A and B are shown apart, each in its own frame.
Chain A
């Protein structure tokens, strides 16, 4: 009893047995055990041949933890194919899937700009709200500019409010007029008004 050393002598880390091949891991994405599916999805990092199969499973995987692992592996590609394959799920009826996909897209600064135009033009305004959320987290030098454009141009108050929310952490005095204009464009939207009014004192430096 007390502090004990690990019993088995430590094998040198280099001598780890090779993990299963990509082919085996791919077949395990259908395993009934979610833990196995999760481990396979993670193990498939660096196996580009697995990308289409994983993309195809994003919409059907029911276990949220397995989905997270697939998205972690997929997002590492940061290619337009992957971004496009993920972006379609922003229109999903399932909130969990939508948010998980949005979080993954927010880690893909290289390829996300390629899917942005079609997302900004999406007829479903909820998709555009999600897009604003992604831009809030995306590490991209143009993210601020894109949000400004959404605030000026989007016809839906929820989208504009979402974009304002996303912009606020990086907003400066320069953005005050933008917010005032948005408030004027949607005078009847209480939530937008509230968001702008709450932000103004910090930006203008008046209490």
Chain B
């Protein structure tokens, strides 16, 4: 049961491992997180043909980027999320941000191309589907404007779950009953699946937000939600994530962070804007 004994990770091993993982993901584990890390490495080793940390770690580094790394990422990411989390930000999106985006892009009827919204990281999909629900139910322009919603995450397992989109009670407990009836189907065992119409409207991608080359395929987003991931990054990874998001956004585009996260300490490239519902960051319009 004693996880450290099982992996036999020495302090030196842990540091080397933490460094490797940081380079691959931007996620930073201080020594205080050992209880969390050791247990999960243990699981990875047990699922592998290797029986010592040294052998497993050597194989991981040789196969780099392969399925071993992906399994490790899937184990070591914190995927907790639920529908309509921090939904005051969705209020802000509906009341202020979307009208501003439309106005900046020429107004309804004259806007060219869809309004693009990105949820990164999207984890198991609750966030992009929440955005879809709020737009369909509460945005009076939804029938006059095209909206594209994208979700992205580094963890392939959560993305598979997001694509399947079936959720337990806990995850959907904040969804109004009427919306449940309209957009979810009970699929047994207390689980509810988002209807096909919404599922197929959300495009999912696997991406590491710190990977500048991979992030190049994300362009021209009007609104980005990047919530509850920067807290796992150190300052340098956060800066790189911020830069990559900047590149993914239209000038004037809006960025929402989690409530305990702040951009100003990380990177001055965005302009903070205070809305009645809270703080949002904007990619400046002037400088291209």
Contacts and interface: CB of A to CB of B under 8 A. Distances in A.
A3 B235 contact: no
A93 interface: no
Contacts of A16: 213-214, 216-217
A42 B212 contact: yes
Contact of B146 (A2, A19, A35): A2
Contact of A43 (B197, B201, B212, B239): B212
B144 interface: yes
Interface string A63-79: 11100110010011000
Contacts of A139: 234-235
Nearest to B205: A13
Given A34-B288, A107-B236, A3 B212 contact: no
Given A13-B207, A16-B214, A42-B243, A2 B147 contact: yes
Interface in A47-77: 63-65, 68-69, 72, 75-76
B283 to A, nearest CB: 10
Contact of A1 (B132, B145, B202): B145
B236 A76 contact: yes
B146 A1 contact: yes
B60 interface: no
Interface in A9-59: 10-11, 13, 16, 19, 33-35, 38-39, 42-43, 45
Nearest to A42: B212
B200 interface: yes
Interface stretch (B6-14, B43-51, B135-143, B161-169): B135-143
A97 to B, nearest CB: 12
Interface in A134-175: 137, 139
A73 to B, nearest CB: 8
Contact of B235 (A1, A10, A107): A107
B268 A64 contact: yes
A69 B243 contact: yes
Interface residues of A, number: 32
Contacts of A69: 243
B156 to A, nearest CB: 11
A43 B213 contact: yes
Nearest to B139: A2
Interface centre among B197, B207, B216, by most A CB within 10 Å? B216
A3 B149 contact: yes
A181 B27 CA distance: 41
Contacts of B143: 1-2
A11 B235 CA distance: 32
Contact of B288 (A3, A35, A107, A137): A35
Contact of A72 (B114, B132, B240, B287): B240
Contacts of B235: 106-107, 137, 139
Given A13-B205, A16-B213, A34-B288, A68 B267 contact: yes
A22 B253 CA distance: 29
A13 to B, nearest CB: 6
B122 to A, nearest CB: 15
A107 to B, nearest CB: 4
Interface in B243-261: 243-244, 246-247
Interface string B247-288: 100000000000000000001110000000000000000011
Interface in B142-186: 142-150
B247 A39 contact: yes
Given A16-B213, A42-B244, A42-B247, A5 B200 contact: yes
30 contacts: A2-B143, A3-B136, A3-B149, A3-B201, A3-B202, A4-B148, A5-B201, A5-B203, A6-B203, A13-B206, A13-B207, A13-B217, A16-B213, A19-B213, A38-B247, A39-B247, A42-B240, A43-B213, A45-B212, A45-B240, A64-B269, A65-B269, A68-B267, A72-B236, A72-B239, A72-B267, A75-B239, A76-B236, A76-B240, A107-B239
A-B pairs, top 9 by smallest CB distance, nearest first, are A3-B201, A107-B236, A6-B203, A72-B239, A107-B235, A4-B146, A42-B212, A35-B288, A19-B213
Given A2-B136, A6-B203, 6 more contacts: A1-B144, A2-B143, A33-B288, A65-B269, A72-B267, A139-B235
